[in-house]
Copies of this chain bind each other. A is one copy, B any other.
Amino acid sequence: MAVFRAPQNPILTAGDIRPSRPDFEVIGVFNAAVARHGDEVILLLRVAERPAERRKEAVLCPMYDLDSKKIIIRPFARNDPQNDFSDPRLILRPGETYLTSISHLRLARSLDGIRFAVADAPAIQATTEYETFGVEDPRITSIDGTHYIAYVGVSPIGVTTCLASTRDFTSFERHGVIFHPDNKDVAIFPAAINGRYYALHRPHSSLFQRNDVWLAESPDLLCWGNHRHLVGTRDGLWDETRIGAGAAPVRIDEGWLEVYHGADRLHRYCLGALLLDGKRPWQVLARSERPLFEPQADYECAGFFGNVVFSCGLLLEDQTLRLYYGAADTSICYAEISLADVQKNLGL
């Protein structure tokens, strides 16, 4: 695949982001939603933070406190045998899970799509009981001038997908939980089809250990039903262990094009494509046998969680996919793939 990576990559790193509090440090910026808004490219960044203070005797976990309405810091003693620190992203205790960082969503604006001005303060941050461990991985779908933001709310009661909307990227309205636990990787189609809205989503079945992509439909973008299993993981291929939708699907001549992520047994995350029927999006017309895009650059292979390219947003402009993607759960990068190359990858 002929992938053009921006020579400026990574285009945004933790150092470019002002912490939301003086006692916090930004440890990563990745998995951004993208929208075209007038002359500008808007990114809604996932910014991960943790307390800047280091303590020998404890790991400090940030979490939103519903009573005081602010993020509090809870220490977990390193010498407590009930605390399992083996995954740097989590602290596991018997029957309890905590995150070592908390994410919020931050706006960034650009005229050239490469150099972004990042807002000083969060646009959407932990506020509800579904978000006490943070908000993550947004996707923007623009319909009739309203930008709908599907984002992940994480809390001890589960991993949900919530909806917010904005017309101006200045004020945001929350619409509650649209997909119950555990569900993430929700990508809403940018147009109704025969009067119904559609979304890709990724429920998790623990009994059957499945992480597949499903399709749901809705009359109003708020309530979702007629859930249909769309595509599963594929043994022996690049997407053998888990998959999930990336950006909102884009319409091309042949149908709906979805760029999705898949991981293999070694937790290597690549991007591939799905082509869905234009009028019957539950029909899969084509799927990447080989990745469209895989981690190769240094900044994709090394980082907080290496060997990861993961996209929550792209623009289809001038017959080119302008892809914003998280690299190694650490930074944001930009790449271009021609639509012709995507079509070739799909065997069209």
Tell me if B207 and A159 are in contact (CB < 8 A): yes
Most chain B CB inside 10 Å of its own CB: which residue of A177, A178, A223: A223
Q: Determine if A227 is an interface residue (Cβ-Cβ < 8 Å).
A: yes
Expressed in whole angstroms, the Cα–Cα distance for A159 and B203 within the complex equals: 11
Known contacts: A203-B158, A212-B157. The answer to whether A226 contacts B180 by CB under 8 A is no
Contact partner, A225, options B97, B129, B157, B176, Cβ 8 Å? B176
Chain A 233-274 interface 0/1 with B at a Cβ cutoff of 8 Å (1 = within): 000000000000000000000000000000000000000000
Given A181-B203, A181-B204, decide whether A176 and B224 contact each other with a Cβ distance below 8 A.
no
Taken together as a complex, chains A and B put the C-alpha atoms of A222 and B218 apart, in Å, by 9
Question: CB of A88 within 8 A of chain B?
Answer: no
A205 at the B interface (CB under 8 A): yes
Question: With the chains together, A129 CA to B226 CA distance in Å?
Answer: 13
Taken residue by residue from 3 to 17, chain A's Cβ proximity to chain B (1 for < 8 Å, 0 otherwise) reads as 000000000000000
Cα of A205 to Cα of B226 in the assembled complex, Å:
21
Chain A 190-224 residues near chain B, CB threshold 8 A: 201, 203-210, 212, 214, 216-220, 222-224
A157 CA / B229 CA spacing, docked (Å): 8
On whether the beta carbons of A227 and B156 are closer than 8 Å, the reply is: no
1/0 contact string of A178-193 vs chain B (CB within 8 Å) = 1111110000000000
B residues in contact with A158, CB < 8 Å: 203, 205, 207-208, 210
CB < 8 Å neighbour of A232 from B157, B159, B205, B232: B157
Does chain B have a CB within 8 A of A22?
no
CB–CB B182/A179 < 8 A: no
Number of interface residues of A (CB under 8 A): 45
Q: Which of chain B's residues has its CB closest to A90's CB?
A: B207
Verify if A130 is at the interface (C-beta below 8 Å from B): yes
Contact of A130 among B95, B97, B229 (CB under 8 A): B229
Which of B181, B206, B210, B222 has a CB less than 8 Å from the CB of A157?
A: B210
Count the copies.
2
Complex contact B182–A227 (CB within 8 A): no
Q: Are B217 and A223 in contact (CB under 8 A)?
A: yes
The reply to whether B157 and A182 form a contact with Cβ atoms under 8 Å apart is no
- Residue A69 is within 8 A (CB to CB) of chain B in the complex: no
1/0 per position for A89-118, CB-CB distance to B under 8 A? 000000111000000000000000000000
Choose from B129, B181, B207 the contact partner of A205 (Cβ within 8 Å): B181
A165–chain B nearest beta-carbon distance, Å: 14
State A297–B95 Cα separation when bound (angstroms). Answer: 32
Is A160 an interface residue when CB atoms closer than 8 A count as contact? yes
- A157 and B95 within 8 A (CB): no
CA distance A129 to B217 in the complex (A): 18
- Collect the chain B residues with CB atoms within 8 Å of residue A218's CB: 223, 225
**What are 21 A-B pairs with beta-carbon distances under 8 A?**
A95-B209, A97-B209, A155-B208, A156-B208, A157-B229, A159-B207, A176-B227, A177-B228, A178-B227, A179-B227, A180-B203, A180-B216, A181-B203, A181-B205, A216-B223, A218-B223, A218-B225, A219-B223, A220-B223, A223-B224, A223-B225
Given contact pairs A158-B203, A159-B205, A178-B226, enumerate 5 new A-B contacts (beta carbons under 8 Å).
A157-B208, A176-B225, A216-B223, A217-B223, A224-B225
* 9 A-B pairs with the lowest CB-CB distances in the bound complex, closest first: A158-B205, A206-B206, A223-B225, A223-B223, A181-B205, A177-B227, A180-B203, A180-B227, A222-B225
